[in-house]
């Protein structure tokens, strides 16, 4: 008895919570249903048109089935059946498919707005390389190229043009809140254009299976007002905040510099992510860990435990004091 | 190919409209691919392909319309109801006419769908 009341209460509570869970699933930093960019708005609009249209047709077909199976007892005439097949089986589907095709084709310039006019006047140009399992980001500024990783700073209201490629396997660049997907293909350069309409921090992911840590290959896109963007990009272009000290000495002595660059220091490796301003990024290891001291230490000790298949070797042979120094040094690289 | 035999019925006219659809499809895909592979900065190749695809689509639709009209005629302009299932020469002719007419309708819709992108897509770079 008690358990049945408990079950009922549980069911009632679930009924109350479930729609809320569904609704929160639709918002947030990584949702195509909560668009914050022009292209994503188009995609979301297309989604709602298709969903509502499909629902209307589904209800109509079910209603017809209920009517034919349960309510209407007399058989219909052959002429009526013929008309039903011609109209509902051929004419109406053809018209609906034609309308959807025209609508989809009409949206193409909206979804891939790489027109000459827009290309001539982008708010930001950049190059993104998908690598197992992180994103190499290069800002192509008038003053020169600036390299970063796993975070893209974009200006609100200005078109952003990215060229995309990959040195290893096929990846796919997808920031659901800002735009549709675009593949990064070895030996080929693809392009994507998007315009953020709302300031915020959005999460992007790799949307094409690329190996063990595919699901841990994410990135952060920060959309800020153009003046703020100019300031952040200028900061990004500067050399590192710390260019001497025990941390840097360890970084060089332990071989980190063979793979990582810290501009303004002798560290100039290009295998792994650029760490010049790693301390200013909100996340670590391609948006997998929070960027705090504990996470940095854990990652240095066992990168393969955080990201299986990663090319970075484990540094668990270093004494804890050295790991701590290195992690603190990386955090200071703002 | 589109002509129905005077007396002895043949299956060839039935294949007319789908054949036009197939040829149109291959020509449109081939032309667009070649034009994009050889794209020049002034886009003249692609512009030519867009107009060419438009012209091909009009020609294909005209051929299908002709085949469809002939089939409609053979069927008897809708004066006789299907299914034309009797084992007589008249019914065989009407059945083939009716089937060809339906295939002409399907082929016409498909040719339009295949040709439509040329109307909207203005660049190769996508």
Rounded to whole angstroms, the Cα distance separating A180 from A190 reads 13
Residue carrying the six token digits 């060089």: A252
Contact between chains at B126 and A112 (C-beta distance less than 8 A): yes
Interface test with A, best of B120, B121, B124 (most A CBs within 10 A): B120
Q: Do A300 and A192 lie in a common domain?
A: no
For residue A166, the tally of other CB atoms under 10 A from its CB is: 24
Tell me if A100 is assigned to some domain. no
Do B74 and B101 meet the contact criterion of CB atoms below 8 Å apart?
no
Structure tokens at B54: 């438009």
B117, closest residue in chain A (CA to CA): A105
Q: Do A46 and A125 lie in a common domain?
A: yes
Distance from CA of B124 to the nearest CA of A (A): 10
Distance from CA of B56 to the nearest CA of A (A): 19
Do B31 and B53 meet the contact criterion of CB atoms below 8 Å apart?
yes
Rounded to whole angstroms, the Cα distance separating A76 from A67 reads 12
Query: What's the CATH code of the domain at A202?
Result: 2.60.40.420
Q: Do A133 and A269 lie in a common domain?
A: no
Tell me if A238 is assigned to some domain. no
Question: Bigger pLDDT: B117 or A108?
Answer: B117
Tell me if A16 is assigned to some domain. no
What are the distances in angstroms from CA A68 to CA A55, A73, A83, A92?
Answer: 20, 8, 15, 20
Contact between chains at B109 and A94 (C-beta distance less than 8 A): yes
What are the distances in angstroms from CA A235 to CA A238, A244, A280, A291, B118?
Answer: 5, 19, 10, 19, 46
What's the average model confidence in pLDDT over B41-52? 84
Query: Which residues touch A262 (CB under 8 Å, ≥6 apart)?
Result: A240, A243, A248, A251, A274, A275, A276, A333
Helix, strand or coil, per DSSP, at residue A16: helix
Closest CB to B117 among A90, A97, A105: A105
Q: Do A138 and A274 lie in a common domain?
A: no
Question: Bigger pLDDT: A113 or A183?
Answer: A183
Instruction: Examine the fold and report which residue of A195, A212, A233 is the final residue of a domain before the chain moves on.
Output: A233
Distance from CA of A97 to the nearest CA of B (A): 9
**Residue A185 — left, alpha, or beta (φ > 0 → left; ψ -120 to 50 → alpha)?**
beta
Contact between chains at B113 and A105 (C-beta distance less than 8 A): no
Contact between chains at B126 and A114 (C-beta distance less than 8 A): yes
Residues of B with CB under 8 A from a CB of A: 105, 109, 112-113, 116-117, 119-123, 125-126
Residue-level pLDDT at A23: 60
Residue-level pLDDT at A56: 94
- Going by C-alpha positions, the residue among A293, A294, A289, A300 that lies closest to residue A323 is A300
Instruction: Examine the fold and report which residue of A186, A205, A233 is the final residue of a domain before the chain moves on.
Output: A233
Q: Do A58 and A166 lie in a common domain?
A: yes
- Going by C-alpha positions, the residue among A1, A217, A230, A196 that lies closest to residue A128 is A217
Strands A171-174 and A182-184, sheet pairing: antiparallel
Q: Do A268 and A207 lie in a common domain?
A: no
Radius of gyration of chain B (CA): 18
Q: Do A40 and A160 lie in a common domain?
A: yes
Partners of B117 on chain A (C-beta within 8 Å) are 105
Contact between chains at A105 and B119 (C-beta distance less than 8 A): yes
Instruction: Examine the fold and report which residue of A187, A210, A233 is the final residue of a domain before the chain moves on.
Output: A233
Rounded to whole angstroms, the Cα distance separating A59 from A92 reads 16
Residue-level pLDDT at B24: 97
φ, ψ of residue B37 to 5 degrees: the values are -65, -35
Contact between chains at B113 and A109 (C-beta distance less than 8 A): no
Partners of B115 on chain A (C-beta within 8 Å) are none
Residues of A with CB under 8 A from a CB of B: 90, 94, 97-98, 101-102, 105-106, 108-109, 112, 114-115, 191
Q: What are the start-end ranges of the E strands in chain A?
A: 124-131, 134-141, 144-149, 151-155, 160-165, 171-174, 182-184, 190-194, 200-206, 218-224, 283-284, 289-290
pLDDT of A108 strictly over 90: no
Tell me if A278 is assigned to some domain. yes
Instruction: Fill in the DSSP letter of residue A68.
Output: I
Q: Do A212 and A66 lie in a common domain?
A: yes
Closest CB to B126 among A94, A102, A108: A108
- Residue A168: give the domain boundaries: 27-74+112-233
Contact between chains at A101 and B116 (C-beta distance less than 8 A): yes
Q: Looking at A111-115, A170-174, B41-45, B76-80, which range is the least confident one? A: A111-115
* Per-domain boundaries in chain B: 24-90+105-120
Q: Do A136 and A180 lie in a common domain?
A: yes
Contact between chains at A112 and B112 (C-beta distance less than 8 A): no
Q: Do A222 and A253 lie in a common domain?
A: no
Tell me if A63 is assigned to some domain. yes
Rounded to whole angstroms, the Cα distance separating A200 from A152 reads 12
Q: Do A51 and A156 lie in a common domain?
A: yes
Contact between chains at B120 and A108 (C-beta distance less than 8 A): yes
Contact between chains at B113 and A101 (C-beta distance less than 8 A): yes
Query: Which residues touch A212 (CB under 8 Å, ≥6 apart)?
Result: A133, A307, A308, A309
B105, closest residue in chain A (CA to CA): A90
Rounded to whole angstroms, the Cα distance separating B92 from B73 reads 14
Tell me if A47 is assigned to some domain. yes
**Residue B111 — left, alpha, or beta (φ > 0 → left; ψ -120 to 50 → alpha)?**
alpha
Tell me if A34 is assigned to some domain. yes
**Residue A35 — left, alpha, or beta (φ > 0 → left; ψ -120 to 50 → alpha)?**
beta
Distance from CA of B81 to the nearest CA of A (A): 10
Contact between chains at B121 and A105 (C-beta distance less than 8 A): yes
Tell me if A283 is assigned to some domain. yes
For residue A106, the tally of other CB atoms under 10 A from its CB is: 11
Residue carrying the six token digits 């002595």: A253
Partners of B121 on chain A (C-beta within 8 Å) are 105, 108
Do A171 and A184 meet the contact criterion of CB atoms below 8 Å apart?
yes
Rounded to whole angstroms, the Cα distance separating A135 from A129 reads 6
pLDDT tens readout for residues A36-94: 898 899 889 999 999 999 999 999 999 989 988 888 778 888 888 889 888 988 899 99
* Overall domain count for chain A: 2
What's the average model confidence in pLDDT over A307-327? 93
In chain A, what percentage of residues exceed pLDDT 90? 62
Average confidence score pLDDT of chain A:
88
Distance from CA of B7 to the nearest CA of A (A): 30
Confidence of residue B126 (pLDDT cuts 50, 70, 90): very low
């Amino acid at each position: 008895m008690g358990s049945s009341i408990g079950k009922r209460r549980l069911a009632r509570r679930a009924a109350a919570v479930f729609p809320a869970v569904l609704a929160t699933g639709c918002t947030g930093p990584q949702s195509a249903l909560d668009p914050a960019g022009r292209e994503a708005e188009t995609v979301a609009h297309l989604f709602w048109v298709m969903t509502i249209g499909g629902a209307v047709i589904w209800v109509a077909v079910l209603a017809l089935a209920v009517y034919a199976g349960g309510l209407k007892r007399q058989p219909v005439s052959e002429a009526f059946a013929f008309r039903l097949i011609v109209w509902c089986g051929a004419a109406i589907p053809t018209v609906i498919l034609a309308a959807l095709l025209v609508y989809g084709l009409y949206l193409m310039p909206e979804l891939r707005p790489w027109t000459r006019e827009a290309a001539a006047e982008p708010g930001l140009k950049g190059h993104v390389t998908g690598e197992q399992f992180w994103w190499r980001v290069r800002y192509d500024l008038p003053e020169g190229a600036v390299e970063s990783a796993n975070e893209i700073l974009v200006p609100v209201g200005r078109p952003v043009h990215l060229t995309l490629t990959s040195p290893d396997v096929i990846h796919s660049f997808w920031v659901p809140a800002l735009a549709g997907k675009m593949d990064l293909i070895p030996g080929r350069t693809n392009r994507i254009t998007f315009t953020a309409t709302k300031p915020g921090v959005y999460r992007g992911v790799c949307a094409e299976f690329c190996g063990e840590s595919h699901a841990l290959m994410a990135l952060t896109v920060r959309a800020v007002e153009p003046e703020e963007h100019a300031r952040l990009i200028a900061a990004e272009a500067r050399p590192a905040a710390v260019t001497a000290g025990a941390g840097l000495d360890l970084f060089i002595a332990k071989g980190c510099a063979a793979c990582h660059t810290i501009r303004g220091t002798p560290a100039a490796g290009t295998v792994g992510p650029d760490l010049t301003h790693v301390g200013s990024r909100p996340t670590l290891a391609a948006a997998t860990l929070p960027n705090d001291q504990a996470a940095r230490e854990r990652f240095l000790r066992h990168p393969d435990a955080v990201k299986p298949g990663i090319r970075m070797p484990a540094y668990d042979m270093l004494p804890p004091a050295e790991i701590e120094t290195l992690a603190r040094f990386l955090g200071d690289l703002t | 190919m589109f002509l129905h035999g005077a007396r002895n019925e043949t299956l060839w006219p039935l294949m007319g409209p789908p054949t036009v659809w197939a040829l149109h499809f291959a020509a449109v895909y081939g032309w667009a691919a070649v034009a994009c592979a050889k794209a020049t900065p002034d886009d003249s190749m692609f512009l030519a392909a867009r107009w060419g695809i438009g012209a091909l689509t009009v020609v294909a639709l005209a051929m299908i319309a002709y085949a469809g009209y002939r089939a409609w005629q053979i069927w008897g302009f809708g004066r006789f109801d299907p299914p034309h299932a009797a084992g007589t020469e008249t019914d065989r002719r009407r059945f083939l006419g009716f089937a060809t007419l339906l295939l002409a309708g399907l082929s016409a819709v498909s040719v339009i769908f295949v040709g439509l992108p040329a109307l909207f897509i203005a660049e190769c770079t996508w």
